[in-house]
Amino acid sequence: MAKRVRGSHSTHRPGGHVPVRAQKPPATPTPASSTSANPAWDADIDQAIDSVILETTEVTIEDPVVPAPAAGRTRKRVTVKSDSLQARVSAENVYVREDLRRIAVVSAILVAGLAVAWVLIVLLDVLGLY
55-71 per-position pLDDT tens digit: 787 766 777 777 776 66
Average pLDDT value for the chain: 76
Say if 92 falls within a structural domain.
Answer: no
Expressed as residue numbers, the domain containing 113 is 104-130
- C-alpha distance from residue 75 to each of 78, 94, 121, 123 (Å): 9, 21, 56, 56
Say if 53 falls within a structural domain.
Answer: no
Is 52 in contact with 46 (CB distance < 8 Å)?
no
Say if 108 falls within a structural domain.
Answer: yes
pLDDT given at position 126: 87
pLDDT given at position 65: 74
Is 126 in contact with 118 (CB distance < 8 Å)?
no
In 10 A of CB 121, how many CB atoms? 14
pLDDT given at position 80: 64
- Interval 89-105: pLDDT, tens: 999 999 999 999 999 99
Say if 125 falls within a structural domain.
Answer: yes
Number of structural domains (the chain) is 1
- Indicate the range of 5-9, 52-56, 94-98 predicted with least confidence: 5-9
Say if 94 falls within a structural domain.
Answer: no
pTM of the full structure = 0.35
